[in-house]
Amino acid sequence: MIRIDGVLVSPGEGGVYGERMLGGYRVWDPYRSKLAALYQKSGGPEITPGMTVLYLGAANGTTVSHVADYAGTVYAVEYAPRPMQDLLEVARRRKNVVPILGDATAPAGYAPVVETVDLLYQDVAQPDQAGILLKNAVFLKTGGTAVLMLKTRSVDIRRDPSDIHAETVEMLVAGGFDVIDSCWLEPYHRDHAALVCTRTPPPAP
Amino acid sequence: MQRYWFGDVDDRGQCIPAPADTASLASRIASLATDMHTFVPLSVDTAIACGIANDREEYLRRLRNVCIARAEAEIALYYSQSDMELLQMVRMLDEMDTVVNLLTERATEWYIVRNPGFSRKYRAISAKKMVGIIKRDRSVSLSRIAQEIDRVSAARTALMRDVSARAEQIAPNSSALVGGLVAARLIAKAGGLGALARLPASTVQVIGAQNALFSHLRTRSPPPKHGIIFQHRRVHNAPKQRRGRVARVLAGKLVIAARLDYFRKEAVPAFIASAQERIDRAGEEP
């Protein structure tokens, strides 16, 4: 990840959403993007040009555009037609983004177009976020990394975020993931946690 | 056999390519019913061996074109639903109401400062009349603002007629029961005619009274009798102790009407007549 004087940036064509430029690089604002907040807080996985990424919950393509600056190929899945219009505009200008109008809770809808990926990134406002990650784990290469941006308020508004966090970690571990890093995204995003996971290789037969 | 966007690959790795033009590939993706239990993710090498592209770069270019074409088609289809524009029209109408009221209030306050002897008391000055008075003020900016308010009000009235007419067109049964405007508001609040048609009558009865409903659920304050449908004359003209019953019967008939509108897509005069009669009776029974 490239930093200029401690400011996270990404290389690529600017002007996507009015982001600031710094020495020819696009400033990646942790207050706008949860992934940038993760990099600011605790590092997060490096994204390299050789990597393919499956991005669930692409929304308007703000974070997607930064990920695409670093990654080789980004498969960006979004469910709602309105933000998809913006995402399509991003995909028209960035040749390594494959926009998919699909439902992350039903991967069968986009399974025929997505290859296996090195990084599975999920940022969806749904109750069953761990379940969605597990359903999509089929696309993750062995040794790949999954990043879950846990929106605890979408899981249950009435429960304590840290309980939801613990429960989610438990579900991921039961589903065969190792949670190698987890951090809250305060002060950039409230009640959001980032869970960085790798998949435990299946036991040798 | 695994079915991918570019073709089918059987168990021995043999590939049967699909017709390779963008449009048919896009519609192919929608037709593939993937079973996730037996699914194996595609590899670009297989796709290249299948002849869809010569290298990874070309593969991605073709896939991108297909995916963009498919997304564009689905977005167009989504927006072409008959009620999508109505939704925006109703929201715009409500927004304009708010804006006109705010501007009128502020302009009135300003006018009172410029004319200290002025009072609205005992003169029955409606908001519209008030704007007329402000228009004649000697301050050029203030009178121009009043003219602007007038113009926005006129646009609002025109939009209201449009909304009514559009609702009568796409929801003839519901509009016959409560009028185009109330029908349109209900559709907008539900999030579309399809969504309204799937709601239970008890929900339709209190749509638009969310605050009262949740305060009732939280604190056991009395439940709301009506939401948006209060705007219909048969509910607000009914005597107070009978309003709840009228609202309940009306909501019951309304969901039937919405289902007719959504699934049959035409006016059903026999239903409308019997429903009108039933709702009228609810307002008259002792």
Work out the pLDDT band at A203, boundaries 50, 70, 90: low
Q: Mean pLDDT for each consecutive 10-residue tract of chain B (286 residues)?
A: 90 86 89 88 90 92 94 91 90 94 95 89 86 93 95 96 94 95 94 94 90 87 87 86 91 96 94 94 81
Cβ of A81 and B74 within 8 Å? yes
Question: Strand pairing of A21-22 and A52-56?
Answer: unpaired
Can you give the residue range of the structural domain that contains A137?
A: 30-199
User: For residues A81 and A101, is the Cβ–Cβ distance under 8 A?
Assistant: yes
Q: Is residue A24 part of a domain?
A: no
Q: Do A111 and B41 touch (CB under 8 A)?
A: yes
End-to-end CA distance of chain B: 70
The verdict on residue A102 lying in a domain is: yes
Beta-bridge partner residues of B180: none
- DSSP class of residue B42 equals B
A43 compared with B105, residue with greater pLDDT: B105
Higher pLDDT, A201 or A7: A7
- Residues in chain B with CB shorter than 8 Å from the CB of A113 are 4-5, 29, 42, 63, 66-67
Contacts B75 to A, Cβ<8 Å: 81, 84-85, 88, 101
What is the CATH architecture of B172-286?
Orthogonal Bundle (1.10)
In CATH terms, the fold of domain B81-170 is Helix Hairpins (1.10.287)
User: Is the residue at A15 inside a domain?
Assistant: no
- Condensed to tens digits (0 to 9), the pLDDT of residues A155-178 reads 999 999 999 999 999 999 999 999
Domain count, chain A: 1
Whether the Cβ atoms of residue A27 and residue A20 lie closer than 8 Å to each other? yes
- Binning pLDDT at 50, 70 and 90, where does residue A205 land? low
Structural domain boundaries in chain B: 2-79, 81-170, 172-286
Determine, yes or no, domain membership for A7. no
Give the minimum alpha-carbon distance from A6 to chain B in angstroms, rounded to a whole number.
34
Chain A residues whose beta carbon lies within 8 Å of the beta carbon of residue B68: 88, 91-92, 99
Residue A79, domain CATH? 3.40.50.150
Amino acid type, A148: L
The answer to whether the Cβ–Cβ distance between A113 and B64 falls below 8 Å is no
Starting at the edge strand found earlier in the chain, the sheet holding A97-101 runs A97-101, A73-78, A52-56, A117-122, A140-151, A192-199, A177-184
Kindly state whether residue A2 falls inside one of the protein's structural domains.
no
The ipTM value here is 0.92
Write down the pLDDT at residue B171.
95
Q: What is the DSSP string of B96-135?
A: HHHHHHHHHHHHHHHHHHH-TT---TTTT--HHHHHHHHH
Report which residue type is found at A91. A
In this structure, are strands A117-122 and A52-56 parallel, antiparallel, or unpaired? parallel
* A23 falls within a domain: no
